[in-house]
Amino acid sequence: MIPRRILTVLVFSLPVLVVAFGVLMGGFILAQATLDAAGAKVLRWVAVSALMLTIADVVLLVGALGINALGDRDDRSDSSGG
């Protein structure tokens, strides 16, 4: 059983990471439009990092929810089998 606190962190970090990715990509496009090559490069790599964290968060969240669902099913079958 996954602790509720971990699930809460995974759930609330997902929209934060998605918004951060969008803001960073917007900054990247703005920096690129103003011909700031160094700033655009940094913003692009930070945005890619945010995207990788988002993907990792989704994978961990799906795995944690799956483990919880299997654990709940086992608990119900043990108590009803009596």
pLDDT tens-digit series, residues 25-68: 999 999 999 999 999 999 999 999 999 999 999 999 999 999 99
d(CA 57, CA 22): 16
Q: Residue ranges of the domains in the chain?
A: 4-74
Tell me which residue of 19, 16, 1 sits closest to 69, measured CA to CA.
1
Q: Which of 6-20, 35-49, 64-78 has the lowest mean pLDDT?
A: 64-78
Q: Does the pTM exceed 0.95?
A: no
